[in-house]
């Protein structure tokens, strides 16, 4: 369990305490994680197979390069699965997992957590009411500092949040992708800084800047339309609305359910009702395909057409 795995465990303990679900146990290949205080009182082990007969669903929070094998194993065992984003390293792997879930009639939910953020819910509500007018620009920045990862770079770890969010807000895929991806740190195996530009059929433009080389954690999104704009600071849970030709309005706090709690609650609800998760495997494939287009555009040094 890394840092985010510990968050999942905290939320699942909360749901179990509320009798929303029953937390069966924790699996981790690292023995030291299974002796930590966070797993006290739970069944623990290093072999996933030993747990599969005793559960209905599995929450996979592991390195990206392990997702395909673990999710495949769980689906083949007849289990519903929640897996952190990205669903897989490549879209062909993601397609196979979605097909396997459909073949076995299993729920496959993917952790695109911004879909459950209360600030995003406010933005969608304003868009649906026509407050902003026709959307023209989405500009997002996900920046921070972290050591090099051994499985993937900033596209699959950071940019994927914004790529999926733009699809969620615009309800369309880009038609053209430009990207500049760079490995700036000598310690990195993968790109640690990237800039993307996405053109959409509606005429909207999406800009994305992601980096692990920033001194400050930044999670900011600007959503601009013909009539006004919204600036959303997801790190500070703040939102600012400005109308066209008017000064920015007051800073409004974002309040609501913790996104991870909302996300896992939706997953448990889908287990009971067999409903489709808000963030399912099909939408996860789309996000990976867009990033594959970004990799190609950066390699070629020119925009690529996305279809």
**For the segment 221-234, what is each residue's pLDDT rounded down to a tens digit?**
999 999 999 999 99
Q: What is the pLDDT, as a whole number, of residue 203?
A: 97
Domain ranges of the chain: 3-112+264-282, 114-258+287-305
Task: State the chain's mean pLDDT as an integer.
Answer: 95
pLDDT for 60 equals: 97
Residue with tokens 């007849």: 78
Q: Give the CATH fold of the 3-112+264-282 domain.
A: Rossmann fold (3.40.50)
What pLDDT is recorded for position 274?
97
| pLDDT band for position 38 (cuts 50, 70, 90) | confident
Label residue 218 by pLDDT band (50, 70, 90). Answer: very high
Q: So what's the pLDDT on residue 1?
A: 61
Note whether 3-112+264-282 and 114-258+287-305 share their fold: no
**Local confidence band at 244 (pLDDT 50, 70, 90 cut-offs):** confident
pLDDT at 247 over 80: no
**Pairing between β-strand 80-84 and β-strand 176-182 as defined by DSSP bridges:** unpaired
Mean per-residue pLDDT for 244-257? Answer: 85
Best CA proximity match to 133, nearest among 225, 20, 46, 202: 225
pLDDT the model gives residue 232: 97
Q: Where are the alpha helices (DSSP H) in 198-280?
A: 259-273
Listing DSSP states for 30-99 in one string gives -GGGGGSGGGTTSEEES-GGGTGGG-SEEEE-S-GGGHHHHHHHHHHTT-EEEEESSS-SSHHHHHHHHH
Residue 32 is predicted with a pLDDT of 82
Residue-level pLDDT at 223: 98
The arithmetic mean of pLDDT across residues 62-73, rounded, is 96
Do residues 238 and 252 lie in contact, with contact meaning Cβ atoms separated by under 8 Å?
A: yes
Q: Identify the residue whose tokens are 């304003």.
A: 126
pLDDT value of position 234 = 94
- Output 250 or 292, whichever has higher pLDDT: 292
In contact, 163 and 290? CB cutoff 8 Å: yes
What is the Cα Rg of the chain in Å? 20
Per-residue model confidence (pLDDT) at position 237? 95
Architecture of domain 114-258+287-305 in this structure: 2-Layer Sandwich (3.30)
Q: Which residue has the higher pLDDT, 15 or 38?
A: 15
- What band does 2 get if pLDDT is binned at 50, 70 and 90? low
* 3-class secondary structure, 194: strand
Give residue 196's pLDDT band: very low, low, confident or very high (50, 70, 90): very high
* pLDDT computed for residue 37 by the predictor: 80
């Amino acid at each position: 369990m890394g840092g985010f795995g510990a968050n999942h465990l905290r939320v699942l303990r909360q749901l179990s305490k509320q009798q929303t679900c029953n937390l069966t146990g924790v699996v981790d290949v690292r023995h030291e994680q299974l002796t930590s205080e966070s797993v006290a009182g739970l069944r623990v082990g290093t072999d996933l197979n030993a747990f599969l007969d005793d559960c209905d669903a599995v929450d996979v929070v592991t390195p990206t390069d392990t997702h395909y094998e673990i999710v495949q194993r769980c689906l083949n065992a007849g289990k519903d699965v929640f897996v952190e984003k990205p669903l897989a390293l490549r879209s062909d792997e993601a397609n196979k997992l979605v097909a396997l879930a459909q073949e076995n009639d299993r729920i496959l939910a993917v952790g695109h957590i911004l879909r459950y953020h209360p600030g995003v819910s406010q933005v969608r509500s304003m868009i649906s009411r026509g407050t902003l007018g026709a959307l023209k620009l989405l500009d997002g920045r996900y920046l921070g500092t972290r050591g090099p990862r051994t499985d993937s770079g900033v596209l699959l770890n950071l940019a994927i949040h914004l790529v999926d969010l733009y699809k969620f807000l615009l309800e369309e895929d880009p038609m053209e992708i430009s990207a500049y991806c760079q490995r700036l740190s000598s310690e990195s195996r993968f790109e640690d800084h990237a800039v993307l530009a996405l053109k959409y059929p509606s005429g909207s433009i999406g800009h994305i800047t992601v980096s692990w080389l920033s001194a400050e954690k930044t999670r900011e999104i600007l959503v601009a339309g013909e009539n006004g704009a919204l600036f959303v600071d997801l790190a500070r849970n703040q939102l600012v609305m400005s109308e066209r030709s008017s000064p920015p309005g007051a800073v409004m706090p974002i309040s609501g359910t913790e996104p991870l709690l909302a996300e896992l609650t939706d997953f448990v609800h889908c287990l009971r009702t067999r409903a489709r998760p808000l963030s399912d495997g099909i939408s996860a494939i789309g996000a990976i395909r867009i990033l594959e287009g970004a990799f190609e555009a950066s390699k070629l040094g020119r925009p690529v057409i996305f279809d």
